[in-house]
Structure 1
Amino acid sequence: MVNNLDEKLGIDFKVLEKGLTDILENVDLLAIAHNLEGKVVYINPYFLRLSGYDKDEILGSDLYSGLEPKLQTKSGAVVEVYWSSMSLKNDEGSSVGLFSVGIDVTVRNTIQRLLEQSERTLKDRATQLEDKNKYLEDSRRAMFNLLDDAKALEEELQREKSSVEKIIGERTHELKEEQARLLASINSVPKGLIIANNEGKILFTNKTVISILNADSRLWTIEGVQRYLGESVNILEEYKKVHESGSPLKISNILFKTRYLEIYMSPILSNSVQNPIGIVVLIDDVTEAKVLERSKDEFFTIASHELRTPLTVIKGNSQLLKDKYVSLVSESNFEEIVNDIHDSSVRLIEMVNEFLTTSSLEQGKIEFKKDKVDIISVIKNVIDELEITAHAKNLYLKYSASKTAKSEDYNVSADMNRVHEVLINLISNAISFTTTGGIEIKTMKVKDMLKVEVIDTGKGISEKNQSLLFRKFQQANESLLIRDSKRGTGLGLYISKLLIEGMGGQIGLESSVEEKGSVFYFTLPIKNTA
């Protein structure tokens, strides 16, 4: 039939078929054919170049089985394609596949989008120009109105100028008077005052600092102050620290010639500037205060020593009376009187000893013998000493060791007698302020320190009184003005603080809840066995 058609039309369809194939092989169109299973059975070279795939990768595969308007290449690029498809049929008219031809419309669509964008831009620009013209017209009318008002405003300003000049004159006079009062106040301050900028140039000094340093007030800098102070203090280094940290700093016990000085430095901060804009330096001559303090300490020490001797005699004689003469005297109140004398002398001797210990610690006269100390042995010895006192109040007194700590962790570098003294103090306090429950001592390792906790179930310490702890002569009562004479001198915790810090540790209140109890602690460095 084909041959008959060829003869009838005068065309060789094989030549025609080859021509069409050549066209598809060379034309800049995408051509692809799929069978009924969606497998690619034909793809032309242009499609291959555009997709980036080899012919062997596509033929027989289901790549591009669904022809989308946006075709993704092997490299991931996207090509916009307009597709036209037709069904392939055999001689019987049954469909055997699908042949599709596509045109790369990426450039055309891009140009179309650019044209649309340009059109929108032009419309927006036209709208802006129209708004600008309207604004200019409004501005022109407003300018004419301003010119009309300018003359009236100028007249009003002239009147205001005269009024302001009068006020400025009055205020300037007030400021000069205020400045004079301020300078007089600063110069009357008993402390030396220096105000310097960030470069160390001194902007202001009062007369007191000149008197304290016996220095010339002209052309001063912080370096100049350092030259006057000499090697007694490195004020340049401290000045730098304050400027860098932005925090105040106090330097005490500066021996300057025959005087003792204290220097306080503080940054000058501004709300508009994050870093300091300068430094204020206060120099105080504390020589008289030092002399008075030393005289007080010396008097305190001498008086305590002198009190201890007669008190020891009273204690010994009262004990002798208790042991040998009470039974010989028929007076019923005699034994009570002797017991009162003996107990009071013991208490007074303890108070004197606390005074002497405090004075020695503050003056650095106590030497700590830092040996290897087994803290568990010390705790057990203290428990043995105080167990009777605790049981008399129906309180438990026990020690709980850490389950994770090693045996060498309980060896601390400390003075055993001083550790014993601190434990006696903390546990005695806990017993005194506990009526039910008891006291538990715990130990645990915290980095390179051993921490000891004394936990009681006593009445606790109110939050406002917690800040009073560890202060000299201070009891944590409800009132600062009322002392409990039965609670001692108020030096126990203060002495404990000095002892622990002298051995390189820390002491404090871990926590306290009223009517539930308190937790006091102290730390000591673990003895290095290496």
Structure 2
Amino acid sequence: MNNNIELYIQALDSANCGIIITDNTQPDNPIVYCNRAFETITGYSHDEIIGHNCRFLQGQDRSQPERSYIKKCISEGRDCKIEIRNYKKNGNLFWNELYVSPVKNSEGVVTHFIGVQNDITERKKAEHELREEKSSVERKIQERTKELVDSEAFLSSIVQTVRESLLVLDADYKVLSANTHFLNSFKVTTEDTVGKVLFELGNHQWDIETLRELLMKILPTNNPVIDYEVEHDFPHIGKKVMLLNAYRIEFEGQYKDRILIAIEDITEKKELDRRKDDFLSIASHELKTPLTTIKGLVQLLQRMIPKDSPERFNETLDKVSVYVDRLNVLISDLLDTSKIQSGNIELHVDPFEIDKTIRDTVENLSVSAPNHKISLSGSTNAVILGDELQISQVINNLISNAIKYSPGSDKVDVYINRVGSFVKVSVTDYGMGISSQDKAKIFDRFFRARDIQKKFPGLGIGLYISHEIIANHNGTLWVESEVGEGSTFSFTLPIMKNH
């Protein structure tokens, strides 16, 4: 039987079309299997796909009527076929021809759905171009000719005016133009640069192995190079840390194939970040020692309270203890942030039962937040190989945030389940929600949304720490949210094999 299953999986993985299987018995119908073609078509890895609902491929493009149609078919448990706009991991649009079929058990209940997708972008493009040709061939030629001229002029103006080093190369990596910022930053002249192959400039100072690999291997696939960090020691100007963005631009006619390279010098920024991290690390360590002493003295005073002491004295001492604890948590978070940035965060890896860890964390938080109902449902019976204390820290942070940012609600839902070879944990609140702009930065260090800054105190490092902890455990952490409708933070962790 196992041999047959392995054979079926091999057959699915060898298929050219993308295939997924979702579990209809679980909330939100999560993906529990995807074949290799699905990863190739979407650009996402297996670990980034498992646990998500299929709608994540539509990104912010949520007004498509096809979404309502497929939702209706799934709710009615019937087949459907649609053509829908999807988006790859790098943001590129592709048209998806999707077939969805239900899988029923012996009792006729739909337990799973099988989705088969094909990338029909080229067909859609051909259909669109055919319609354009039929409407007016002459108009099309005139518009494209004007577009070529305008695009070249526009590109030239951008290259010269942007306050960032920009290069335009042809398909053979020969420099067609370099803006003034590039010439000034790297101490070169136009005569030394324009018309020369990039890798042969100066004394071959731009013949950087990582840069050559980016331009020759990645760009030809039409994938842009985004925020790639390169460190190089240049003659005359010394060591530079640069952030490279490269795009392949396809025109027609004489301007066919251009490569645009934007180079941002982040040497000073990296040095400032290093100094800031050093300061945070030193300050946190220095504060930790006296704070521990203060905590001990407060505890000593609490044990020495005279029997006839006034109630206000006792209440004040208790408040001091609470605020010392808050300060201790804050300093611990700063220390964690410093360790993550320096790569010194330690993982104490041992097998542990994830269900028990989550249950214990929820129980502890329920005691400390009696005005909120934290509902836990689902189970996995799974064993995780990892740092139990750090995973508990993540769960604690997500639930605490759910309580903190839901001032008008007293309910938080925690759900755990298996998705393929992973455990998925979701924390749902019914609070203020997160805007699409803020979702893109929500896991950045020290990021806090503007409206949250005004209402709630904090440094904006809890989600950053949680994201890094889950990443260090080979899992993923993400958020789904709409403004005014609450948020669901979910993460996956690989299940320990042989358990």
TM-score by length of 1: 0.55
1:245 aligns with 2:222: yes
Distance change (3 Å), C-alpha of 1:463 and 1:234: closer
**Aligned-residue CA RMSD (Å):** 3.4
CA distance in 1, matches of 2:365, 2:388: 18
Q: CA deviation at 1:352?
A: 1.1
Amino acid at match of 1:509: V
Q: CA deviation at 1:435?
A: 6.3
- AA partner of residue 316 (structure 2): I
* Matches of 1:193 and 1:513, distance apart in 2: 38
Q: How much has 1:213 moved relative to structure 2?
A: 5.0
Are the aligned partners of 2:479 and 2:489 in contact in 1 as well (CA < 8 Å)? yes
Change (3 A) 1:369 1:205: same
What letter corresponds to residue 221 of structure 1 in structure 2?
V
Equivalent residues in 2 for 1:440-455, closer than 5 Å: 440-455=413-428
Q: Note if 1:412 corresponds to 2:384.
A: yes
Greater radius of gyration (CA): 1
Which residue is 2:241 aligned to?
260
Of 267, 270, 277 in structure 2, the residue corresponding to residue 287 of structure 1 is 267
Report deviation, 1:501.
1.4
Alpha-carbon shift at residue 492 of structure 1 (Å): 1.6
For structure 1, the 5+ residue unaligned runs are 1-178
Q: Quote how far apart the aligned CAs of 1:366 are.
A: 0.9
Q: Tell me if structure 1 keeps the 8 A contact 2:159–2:179.
A: yes
* 1:421 corresponds to 2:393: yes
Structure ranking higher in helix proportion? 1
2:305 is paired with a residue whose SS is helix
Residue in structure 1 matching 2:464, options 487, 494, 508: 494
- Distance across 2 between alignment mates of 1:422 and 1:491: 12
Q: 1:503 aligns with which of 452, 473, 476?
A: 473
SS in 2 for 1:281: strand
Shift of 1:528: 2.5
CA separation of 1:328/1:318 partners in 2, compared to 1, >3 Å: closer, same or farther?
A: farther
CA distance in 2, matches of 1:453, 1:276: 48
Check the 8 A contact 1:261/1:285 in 2, yes or no: yes
Q: CA deviation at 1:203?
A: 1.1
Aligned-residue offset at 1:316? 2.2
The answer to whether the 8 A contact 1:259-1:285 is kept is: yes
Superimposed CA distance per residue, residues 282-318 of structure 1 (whole angstroms, 9 cap, x where no aligned partner): 2233221111111111112111211222222222222
CA–CA distance in 1 between the matches of 2:213 and 2:442? 37
Residues 529 and 269 of structure 1, relative CA distance in 2, 3 Å threshold? same
Instruction: Report the AA paired with residue 256 of structure 1.
Output: D
Aligned to 1:149: none
Alpha-carbon contact 2:243-2:263 (below 8 Å) kept = yes
In 2, the alpha carbon distance for the partners of 1:298 and 1:360 equals 10
Shift of 1:429: 2.4
Q: Report SS of the residue matched to 2:304.
A: helix
Question: Could you say what secondary structure the match of 1:336 adopts?
Answer: helix
Instruction: Describe the superposition over 1:386-420 as per-residue Cα deviations: whole angstroms up to 9, x where unpaired.
Output: 23234x21624323226xxxx4xx22343222111
CA contact (8 A) 1:395 1:436 kept: no
Q: In 1, distance between residues paired with 2:408 and 2:209? A: 55
Q: CA offsets per residue over residues 437-462 of structure 1, 9 Å max, x none? A: 64333222323322111234x33415
**Using the alignment, how far apart are the partners of 1:347 and 1:365 within structure 2?**
24
> In 1, distance between residues paired with 2:455 and 2:286?
25
Contact 1:247 1:266 in 2 (8 A): yes
Q: Which residue of 2 aligns with 1:518?
A: 487
Q: State the partner residue of 2:173.
A: 200
Residue in 2 aligned with 1:104?
none
1:273 Cα offset (Å): 6.9
Q: 3-state SS of the aligned residue for 2:425?
A: strand
**Structure 1 residues 366, 232: closer, same or farther in 2, change over 3 A?**
farther
Instruction: Measure, in 2, the Cα distance between the counterparts of 1:454 and 1:400.
Output: 12
Distance 1:344 1:439 in 2: 25
The Cα shift of 1:267 comes to 2.5
User: For the structure 1 residues 444 and 195, does the alpha-carbon distance in structure 2 shift closer, same or farther, using more than 3 Å as the test?
Assistant: same
Q: Is the 8 A contact 1:239 1:265 kept in 2?
A: no
How many correspondences in the alignment? Answer: 335
Alignment counterpart, residue 280 of structure 2, candidates 300, 310, 317:
300
Q: Name 1:315's counterpart in structure 2.
A: 295
Q: Given the alignment of the two structures, is residue 400 of structure 1 paired with residue 378 of structure 2, yes or no?
A: yes
Q: For 1:52-72, what per-residue CA distance to the aligned partner results, in whole angstroms no more than 9, with x for missing partners? A: xxxxxxxxxxxxxxxxxxxxx
Q: Cα offset for 1:519?
A: 2.4
What are the within-5 Å matches in structure 2 for residues 178-193 of structure 1? Answer: 191-193=164-166
Seq. identity, %: 27
Counterpart position of 1:344: 323
Give yes or no for contact 1:442–1:453 (8 Å, CA) kept in 2. yes
Is the 1:192–1:206 contact (alpha carbons within 8 Å) kept by the matching residues of 2?
yes
- 1:395 to 1:465, Cα distance in 2 relative to 1, 3 A: farther
Q: Give the 3-state SS of the residue equivalent to 1:233 in structure 2.
A: helix
Distance 1:328 1:303, change over 3 A: farther
Deviations 1:121-152 (A, max 9, x none): xxxxxxxxxxxxxxxxxxxxxxxxxxxxxxxx
What residue ranges of structure 2 are gaps of 5+ in the alignment? 1-152
Cα distance change on mapping 1:455 and 1:484 into 2, 3 Å: closer
Q: How far apart are the structure 2 equivalents of 1:248 and 1:234? A: 10
Q: 1:231 to 1:425 in 2, by over 3 A?
A: same
Could you say which residue in structure 2 is the equivalent of 1:385? Answer: 364
Shift of 1:325: 3.4
Q: Is the 8 A contact 2:167 2:179 kept in 1?
A: yes
C-alpha displacement at 1:231, in angstroms? 4.7
CA contact 1:475–1:483 (8 Å) conserved in 2: no
1:362 alignment partner, one of 334, 337, 341 = 341
Alpha-carbon separation, structure 2, partners of 1:278 and 1:314: 64
User: What SS does the corresponding residue of 2:497 show, helix, strand or coil?
Assistant: coil
Cα contact 1:382–1:423 (8 A) shared by 2: yes
SS state at 2:257 partner: strand
Structure 2 CA distance for aligned equivalents of residues 274 and 324 of structure 1: 88
Amino acid at match of 1:251: Y
Which residue identity is paired with 1:502? Answer: N
Of 289, 304, 311, 1:324 maps to: 304
* CA distance in 1: counterparts of 2:341 and 2:184, whole angstroms: 31
Q: Is the 8 A contact 1:412 1:524 kept in 2?
A: yes
- Measured after TM superposition, the shift of residue 253 of structure 1 is 4.3
Preserved CA contact (<8 Å) 2:423 2:495: yes
1:413–1:524 CA contact under 8 A, matched in 2 = no
Task: Return the offset for 1:189.
Answer: 5.9
